[in-house]
């Protein structure tokens, strides 16, 4: 597969490709013709390969179809529809966007932020009947010119230690390799259907939730956004064979699962997938028990076009606490002086391969920090065991340095989550005038949970060395999360007013 458009010919013509709650499915032949038409409409405006088009669209089949069309013939730059005006202004300018695509009458903040000369396109219609309009007129389409393997299909911003968000350019060949690796690791087939609760402005939702199912000839079900209350209705209506989400979403699903046991029993799931953040072992075990299917933990990041490693499906061994083995790229552990390390030695996870970018765009500082001797530095700390399973011990920038003692927040999280009254937990660094940093944690209790901060600390003290026990524990109704549902440790103390 050299172009994203080619993956649309993999499925049976009349088989459903894109579904959504309460909507008529879009079959593969309809999807192919719609993408072809939209690509021709873009061509009629003079938009070409590698031209960047900012997409500000809500989750759903229209966003999925528009993304496929743009990424097949130009460069898609999906943006979070919830950004504020100043954020839209920054990202649109930083990307050098040639056009802005929104729903008609929608995305007021994005339009207010867009520069005067930017081409503005509206997406009108539903499902396979969508069209692009320009100045309120439906565009006539020309013959589409599809992108080539080394053309950039997708650009995303990712944050990091540098002051400016970094632009990650992902080529057609990066995406093609990634979706094939995911399909192989999960044994995806035409009979599979993914319930995609991830946002379609995020690498996880786009690659694992949208492209990988289609590339295997299967279907993807596009939800409006994650909703823990509606999840089980979608499970019942859309009949997925798998779903993929981040750990906090899995925890919210588990918190409501008891009342939907009959829907779960009748669901045709064959596995559940987790990625984009560390999955507590207790959550993995509970998913296994409640859904009766294996929880597959994977390891992904934007710079690697999402998936880098994954635990295998049974009967191969899954190792709780591990993110599995490499899926199509090289993974190694590097010391601080740049030497590759032996099994069980802890250091920084580094990667290279056909899904990994070779540089950030227009960012020499980030490139000098992120790439060394042909390897990309992930910023994650971990180790490989003798079977080449990767175990993550934390983000290097999130490691808590308590007077010279280095503490992995993930280790503290695991212990706190072992308490029967704790449903969610996130540990983080709390500034300290003498030690530099101290351990703190925010905790959400189970619905039936009744416990004090002191009791949780006593529980942790029986299972952790004294210097790792949280000095401060805050009980919350919900944990602060980023736009994709991931917990954000850095700055947590400030957000909770503990500084």
- Cross-strand partners of 120: 100
- Three-state secondary structure call for residue 190: coil
Instruction: Check residue 481 and report its DSSP letter.
Output: B
The residue that leads in pLDDT, 495 or 488, is 495
* Predicted pLDDT of residue 406: 81
Query: 192-201: per-residue pLDDT in tens?
Result: 999 999 999 9
User: How far is Cα 404 from Cα 199, in angstroms, rounded to an integer?
Assistant: 39
Q: What is the pLDDT of residue 162?
A: 47
> For residue 459, what are the CA distances in angstroms to 281, 444, 469, 470?
18, 15, 9, 11
**Residue 7 backbone zone (phi > 0: left; psi -120 to 50: alpha; other: beta):** alpha
pLDDT of residue 397: 87
Backbone angles phi and psi of 390, in degrees to 5: -95, 130
User: Is the previous residue joined to 14 through a cis bond, with omega within 30 degrees of 0?
Assistant: no
| Closest of 150, 158, 451 to residue 302, by C-alpha | 158
Average pLDDT over residues 164-185: 95
Q: Are 272 and 253 in contact (CB under 8 A)?
A: no
Alpha carbons within 13 A on the beta-carbon side of 407:
28
- Mean pLDDT throughout 441-446? 93
Q: Are 120 and 111 in contact (CB under 8 A)?
A: yes
Instruction: Please measure the distance between the N-terminal and C-terminal CA atoms of the chain and give it in whole angstroms.
Output: 52
Alpha helices per DSSP H over 74-196: 85-95, 108-113, 172-185
| Inter-residue contact 273 to 296 (CB < 8 Å) | yes
Interval 11-48: pLDDT, tens: 999 999 999 999 999 999 999 999 999 999 999 999 99
Residue range 348-357: mean pLDDT, rounded: 98
For the chain, list the domains and their CATH numbers: 4-179 (3.40.50.980), 193-200+225-395 (3.40.50.12780), 399-495 (3.30.300.30)
- Per-residue DSSP letters for 251-292? HHHHHHGGGGHHHHHH----EEEE-SSPPPHHHHHHHHHHHS
Residue partners of 218: CB distance under 8 A and separation at least 6: 11, 188, 189, 190, 191, 192, 193, 194, 241
Q: Return d(Cα 166, Cα 313) in angstroms, integer.
A: 34
At residue 364, does pLDDT exceed 80? yes
Q: pLDDT tens, 369-408?
A: 999 999 999 999 999 999 999 999 888 888 898 887 888 8
Q: How large a percentage of the chain has pLDDT more than 90?
A: 80
DSSP string, 122-153: EEESSGGG-EEEETTEEPPP-------TTSEE
- Separation CA 13–CA 323 (nearest Å): 36
With beta carbons less than 8 A apart as the criterion, state whether 455 and 416 touch: no
- The per-residue pLDDT for 163 is 54
> 274-323: per-residue pLDDT in tens?
998 888 898 999 999 999 999 999 999 999 999 999 999 999 999 999 99
Query: Rounded CA gap, 90 and 76, in Å?
Result: 17
Please state, in angstroms and rounded to a whole number, the distance separating the CA atoms of residues 88 and 73: 23
């Amino acid at each position: 597969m050299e172009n994203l458009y080619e993956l649309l010919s993999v499925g049976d013509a009349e088989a459903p490709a894109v579904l959504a709650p309460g909507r008529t499915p879009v079959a593969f032949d309809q999807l192919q013709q719609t993408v072809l038409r939209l690509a021709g409409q873009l061509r009629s405006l003079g938009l070409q390969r590698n031209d960047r088009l900012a997409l500000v669209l809500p989750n759903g089949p229209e966003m999925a179809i528009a993304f496929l069309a743009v990424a097949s013939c130009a460069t898609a730059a999906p943006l979070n529809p919830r950004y504020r005006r100043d954020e839209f202004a920054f990202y649109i300018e930083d990307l050098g966007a040639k056009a802005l695509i929104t729903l008609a009458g929608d995305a007021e903040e994005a339009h207010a932020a867009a520069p005067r000369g930017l081409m503005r396109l509206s997406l009108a219609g539903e499902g396979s009947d969508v069209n692009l309009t320009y100045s309120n007129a439906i565009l006539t389409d020309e013959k589409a010119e599809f992108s080539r393997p080394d053309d950039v299909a997708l650009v995303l911003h990712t944050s990091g230690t540098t002051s400016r968000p970094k632009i990650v350019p992902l080529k057609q060949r990066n995406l093609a390799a990634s979706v094939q690796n995911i399909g192989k690791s999960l044994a995806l087939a035409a009979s599979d259907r993914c319930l995609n609760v991830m946002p379609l402005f995020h690498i996880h939702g786009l690659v694992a939730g949208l492209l990988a199912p289609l590339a295997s000839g299967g279907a993807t079900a596009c939800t409006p956004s994650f909703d823990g209350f509606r999840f089980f209705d979608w499970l019942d209506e859309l009949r997925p064979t798998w779903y993929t989400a981040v750990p906090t979403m899995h925890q919210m699903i588990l918190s409501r699962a008891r009342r939907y046991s009959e829907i779960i029993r009748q669901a045709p799931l064959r596995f559940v997938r987790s990625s984009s953040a560390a999955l507590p072992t207790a959550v993995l075990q509970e998913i296994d028990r409640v859904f009766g299917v294996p929880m597959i933990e994977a390891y992904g990041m934007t710079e690697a076009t999402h998936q880098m490693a994954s635990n295998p499906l049974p009967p191969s061994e899954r190792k709780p606490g591990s993110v599995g083995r490499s899926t199509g790229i090289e993974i190694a552990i590097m010391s601080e002086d740049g030497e590759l390390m032996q099994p069980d030695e802890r250091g920084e996870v580094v990667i290279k391969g056909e899904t990994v970018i070779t540089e950030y765009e227009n960012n020499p500082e980030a490139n000098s920090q992120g790439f060394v001797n042909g390897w990309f530095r992930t910023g994650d700390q971990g180790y490989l065991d003798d079977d080449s399973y990767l175990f993550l011990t934390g983000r290097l920038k999130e490691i808590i340095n308590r007077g010279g003692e280095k503490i992995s927040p993930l280790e503290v999280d695991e212990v706190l989550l072992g308490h029967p009254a704790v449903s969610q937990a996130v540990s983080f660094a709390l500034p300290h005038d003498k030690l530099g940093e101290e351990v703190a944690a925010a905790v959400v209790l189970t619905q039936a949970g009744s416990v004090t901060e002191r009791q949780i600390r006593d529980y942790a003290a029986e299972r952790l060395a004294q210097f790792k026990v949280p000095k401060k524990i805050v009980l919350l109704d919900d944990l602060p999360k980023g736009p994709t549902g991931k917990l954000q440790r850095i700055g947590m103390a400030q957000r909770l007013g503990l500084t």
